[in-house]
């Protein structure tokens, strides 16, 4: 049962049929949409488990996207890079921590995100 309005289908079509240079941007727009939904629900004072549910549902939708092996970059040596599952928690973490205004906010957000990631079983990649 879907609780939150997260829809991956338009992004799947965008990513599969867009220019190579635009694909990564579209993927990140999906993650930004998840963050936006998280923020809107959080501002309404919803419980933490509801907010974790949004992140979890976003990841479930993201896994539908990465199973298409969407090519997002080709380096100078011809190595091809596709979207993978770890891109979701890495970018999500980067975007959340990037919103911190002060060092204290950053530390608190880092602590909170570490707990969420541990709960969800995500790999917590240290951000600088």
pLDDT of the chain along its 128 residues, tens only? 446 778 899 999 999 999 999 999 999 999 999 998 888 887 776 677 888 889 999 999 999 999 999 999 999 999 999 999 999 999 999 988 888 889 998 898 888 889 889 989 998 877 65
- Domain assignment present for residue 126? The answer is no
C-alpha span between 125 and 128 (Å, rounded): 10
Q: How many CB atoms lie within 10 A of CB 128?
A: 3
C-alpha span between 55 and 109 (Å, rounded): 15
- Domain assignment present for residue 2? The answer is no
- Alpha helices by DSSP H, 44-86: 48-66
C-alpha span between 42 and 32 (Å, rounded): 15
Q: Which two tokens stand for residue 77?
A: 């040596």
Cβ pair 96, 127 in contact under 8 A: no
- Domain assignment present for residue 17? The answer is yes
- Domain assignment present for residue 102? The answer is yes
- Domain assignment present for residue 125? The answer is no
User: What values do phi and psi take at 71, rounded to 5?
Assistant: -70, 130
User: pTM for the complete prediction?
Assistant: 0.85
């Amino acid at each position: 049962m879907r609780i939150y309005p997260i829809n991956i289908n338009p992004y799947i079509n965008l990513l599969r049929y867009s220019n190579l240079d635009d694909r990564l941007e579209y993927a990140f727009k999906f993650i930004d949409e998840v963050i936006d939904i998280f923020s809107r629900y959080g501002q309404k004072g919803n419980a933490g488990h509801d907010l974790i549910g949004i992140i979890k549902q976003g990841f479930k939708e993201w896994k539908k996207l990465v199973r298409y092996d969407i090519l997002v970059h080709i380096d100078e040596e011809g190595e091809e890079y596709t979207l993978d599952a770890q891109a979701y928690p890495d970018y999500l973490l980067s975007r959340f921590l990037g919103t911190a205004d002060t060092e204290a906010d950053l530390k608190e957000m880092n602590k909170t995100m570490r707990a969420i990631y541990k709960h969800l079983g995500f790999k917590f990649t240290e951000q600088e």
